[in-house]
Structure 1
Amino acid sequence: MEALYLLCSIASTCVTTSLLSLLLPFQTLASFLSRFFSSSNEGRGEEISYYQGHVRHVRRRPVHHAFDYDVRYALVDLDRNSASLPASFFRCHVSAQEARHITGTTGPVLLLTIPPSVGYEQNPLSVYYCYDAEGSTMHLKKCIAEVTNTPWGERVLFVFNPDSDLVAKPLHVSPFMDMLGNWTMRANAPGEDLFIAISVQHPTLGNYFTATLKAKRVRSSSWTLRPALFFWLMPQKVAVWIYWQALKLWWKNVSFLKHPKYVSPLYKEEALTRDRKLQCSRTVAKSDNSHLCFDNDQNHEMNTSTGDRWCVWKDAQWPWS
C-alpha cells in the first residue's frame, strides 16, 4: 500500500508541479500589483521572516551514513495570517490561540515551516515557538513539534522544552529506525540565526543518529522575496532527498522495518507510556519525592499538571493541495 501511495504521489506531484509552475509568473505579478496598490500593510511588522541554511543528518550505526542539503524556511507570525500564503495553509496547522492554550503561554506564536510550493507541501518537521511576556521583553517558553511522516500521511504534535528535552519517539518516521529510541531536542529562539538539533538515544545502539538545522535570516526589501518565488520547488526537493537517502540506506543493507501498526496496534499508547516514564524518572532525579512517579494508562492525552506531556496524533493533509 505504501508503494502504491508513493507512486501515485510522485505522478500527481510531477503533473501539478509542471502545470502550476507555468502559472507562477502570472500569479506573482498579480500578487505584486495587489500589494503595490494596497496600503493595508503599511506600519505593520513582518508577517513572514525568511531563513536559508542547511540540514545535516549523521547516522553512526549500524552503518555510517551522513548527508546535508541546503534548505529554505519561513517563520510565520500566526497572529497575522499573511495574504501571501493560501488559506489552506493556516487550516492545516495549529492556530496561534490553540498553541497558546496548549502551552499555557500568553505571547506571540511563530511557526517555522516550509510553505507549499506550486501545489505541494512536504514538512518532515515544523516547529511552533510560543513566547511569554517578561516585562517589556518576550521569552521563548515552550515549543510544539509537528512531525509528519511520508508516505504514511501521519502527523504527531507534542510540546517540548526548547532549552533541552527528552521525548520518547512517538511516530514511525523512517522505515530504517524502530520505535525504541528517545529524541533529545533543543532549539534556540529565532533571531538572526536559527538552530534546531535532534539526536536519537537507543537502548542498544546508543546515541546513533543526529539531525541539525542551521539557518540565517535573509534580509531583503525586494518584492521578489515572496514565498512563491523564494520557496519554489523547495518541498519537492525535500521529498527527493528523503527518498534518495532511503534508497542509499537500503543499498547499504540497513534493515527495512514495517510500520509498527502492523506489529503492535497499541504503539501510540506504548509511546505515551515510555514518555511518561521518562518524565517521571527526570522528576525523581531532581527530587527526593519518589512518589511523584506514577503511571496512569487511562490518560492518553497527557496532562501537563501531572508532569505528563501534551501529545496528539492526527492524519496529515495530502502532500499536494
Structure 2
Amino acid sequence: MEALYLLCSIVSTCFTSLALSLLLPVHALLRWLYGSRAGAAACESAALYEGTVWHERRRPVRHSFQYAVRYALIDLDRAPHAPPGHLSADEARHFADTNGPIFLLTIPPSVGYEQNPLSLYYCYDIKGATQHLQKCIAEVTNTPWGERVLFVFSPNSDLVAKPLHVSPFMDMLGNWSIKANAPEDNLFVAISVQHPKLGNYFTATLKAKRVSSSTLSNHATFFWLMPHKVAIWIYWHAFKLWWKNVSFIQHPRNTNPRYREEAAERDRGLRCCEAFHLDGMKDSAPNRTVSDSSSGKSHIDRCFVWRDAKWPWS
C-alpha cells in the first residue's frame, strides 16, 4: 500500500510541477510589470549559495558521488514570514537558548515540491557590540518515511548519537560527528558516522560559495527543480547500493518501538550532553550550555525533538 501511495504521489507531483513550471514565465513577467513588495523583501532577507554535496561510503562497499546544489540562507528576523514547516526566529532562539540573529540554511520549495535532508539554523549570541555563532540547530528529515528530528550542536565540532533512520542501508548504531562554519562568502558543513563495528565509514559534506543575488531577477528560477534533483539523487543512489548487495535495513519502528528513547539514552552516554524526548516545541526546555566543574569543560544540555514531515512526494 505504501509503495502504491508513493507512486501516486510521484505522478501527482510531476503533473503539479510541470503545470507550475509552465507558469513561471508568466509569474516573472507579472513581477517585472507590477513589481512585488513581498518578493523584494524575501530577496533582501536571503543570501544565495551554490556548491556541491559529496557523499562517501567506505564500508561494507565503497560508493561515492557528488551533485550540485543551491541553497538559500534566510535571515529569519528580516524575512516577511517564517518558511512553512520550519522554526521561526523566536522558536529557534528559545530552542538554542541564544539571544542574537537566526539564519536558516535550506532549499526553498520549487514548483510545489520541497526536499531537505538537512536544514541548518545558525544561532548567534550578542555580547556588547559583537555577535558570534554560538550554536546550530540541525533539522534532519528522512525520506520516504516522513520523519524529522531537531537538535542543537556546537558548530566547532560535536558528537551526537544517531537519532533518526536516514537510510535503509544504515542501522541506528553509532554517532554523528558534525561541524559547520559561520556562513560568509564560503559555507561548509561536514557529517561523518562513527560506528561501533564499521568505524568511521561514511562522510557527507556540503561546500558552497555565496553568489550575487543582485544578478538574479527571480529566485524561483534560481531554485527551479532543485528539490526534485536532490530527491532523484537520493533514490538513484539507494538503488545503486541495493544493486551492490548492501544489506537492506528496515525502519526500526517496525522492530523496536523504543528506538527514539534508545537514541536519547545513547546520547546521554556520550557524557557530553543530556537528552530529552519531547513531542513538541511549546513545552520544550531550552538547550543550555552547562559547565562541568570537575573537568572544566562545557557541554550542551541537548533535547531531541521529533516531528512529522511531509510525505516525500507531496
**Structure 1 and Structure 2 fold alike (TM over 0.5):** yes
Structure 1 residue 26: deviation in Å?
1.1
Alpha-carbon displacement from aligned partner over 1:61-104 (angstroms, at most 9, x marks no partner): 0000000001000001111224xxxx6x6231000000001111
Q: 1:61 to 1:20 in 2, by over 3 A?
A: same
Structure-2 separation of matches of 1:4 and 1:255? 23
Structure 1 residue 138: deviation in Å?
1.7
Q: Which residue of structure 1 aligns with residue 49 of structure 2?
A: 51
SS at match of 1:53: strand
Q: For residue 124 of structure 2, what is the amino acid of its counterpart?
A: Y
Structure-1 separation of matches of 2:46 and 2:39? 16
Flag structure 2 segments of 5+ consecutive residues without an equivalent.
279-283, 291-299
Q: 1:252 to 1:17 in 2, by over 3 A?
A: same
1:247 aligns with 2:239: yes
SS at match of 1:105: coil
Structure-1 separation of matches of 2:216 and 2:62? 44
Alpha-carbon displacement from aligned partner over 1:236-288 (angstroms, at most 9, x marks no partner): 0001000000000000000011100001011000000001111x2x47xxxxx
Query: Matched residue pairs, number?
Result: 298
1:29 aligns with 2:29: yes
Q: Which residue of structure 1 aligns with residue 277 of structure 2?
A: 300
Structure-2 separation of matches of 1:310 and 1:188? 22
SS at match of 1:115: coil
Structure-2 separation of matches of 1:168 and 1:189? 23
Structure-1 separation of matches of 2:33 and 2:46? 19
Structure-2 separation of matches of 1:319 and 1:118? 14
Q: Which residue of structure 2 aligns with residue 65 of structure 1?
A: 63
Q: For residue 57 of structure 2, what is the amino acid of its counterpart?
A: R
Structure-2 separation of matches of 1:137 and 1:75? 21
Q: Which residue of structure 2 aligns with residue 114 of structure 1?
A: 107
Q: Which residue of structure 2 aligns with residue 185 of structure 1?
A: 178
1:7 aligns with 2:21: no
Q: Is the 8 A contact 2:43 2:219 kept in 1?
A: no
Q: 1:229 to 1:308 in 2, by over 3 A?
A: same
Q: Which residue of structure 2 aligns with residue 75 of structure 1?
A: 73
Q: 1:159 to 1:40 in 2, by over 3 A?
A: closer
Alpha-carbon displacement from aligned partner over 1:7-62 (angstroms, at most 9, x marks no partner): 123212211111110111111222344437x59969x9930100000000000000
Structure-1 separation of matches of 2:220 and 2:43? 20
Alpha-carbon RMSD across the aligned residues, in angstroms, is 2.3
Structure-2 separation of matches of 1:2 and 1:271? 26
Q: Map 1:279-294 onto structure 2 (within 5 A).
A: 280=271, 282=272
Q: For residue 77 of structure 1, what is the amino acid of its counterpart?
A: D
TM-score, normalised to structure 2, is 0.88
Q: Is the 8 A contact 2:113 2:228 kept in 1?
A: yes
Give 1:137's match in structure 2, choosing from 112, 123, 130.
130
Structure-1 separation of matches of 2:251 and 2:190? 25
Q: Map 1:161-240 onto structure 2 (within 5 A).
A: 161-224=154-217, 226-240=218-232
SS at match of 2:59: coil
Q: 1:223 to 1:213 in 2, by over 3 A?
A: closer
Structure 1 residue 134: deviation in Å?
2.9
TM-score, normalised to structure 1, is 0.87
Alpha-carbon displacement from aligned partner over 1:218-240 (angstroms, at most 9, x marks no partner): 0142342x321100000000010
Structure-2 separation of matches of 1:32 and 1:311? 44
Structure 1 residue 317: deviation in Å?
2.5
SS at match of 2:221: helix
Structure-2 separation of matches of 1:14 and 1:45? 27
Q: Which residue of structure 2 aligns with residue 127 of structure 1?
A: 120
SS at match of 1:221: helix
Give 2:269's match in structure 1, choosing from 263, 267, 277.
277
Greater strand share, 1 or 2? 2
Structure-2 separation of matches of 1:220 and 1:109? 20
Q: For residue 29 of structure 2, what is the amino acid of its counterpart?
A: L
Alpha-carbon displacement from aligned partner over 1:97-128 (angstroms, at most 9, x marks no partner): 00001111111100000000000000000000
Q: For residue 225 of structure 2, what is the amino acid of its counterpart?
A: L
Q: For residue 242 of structure 1, what is the amino acid of its counterpart?
A: I
Flag structure 1 segments of 5+ consecutive residues without an equivalent.
284-294
SS at match of 2:241: helix
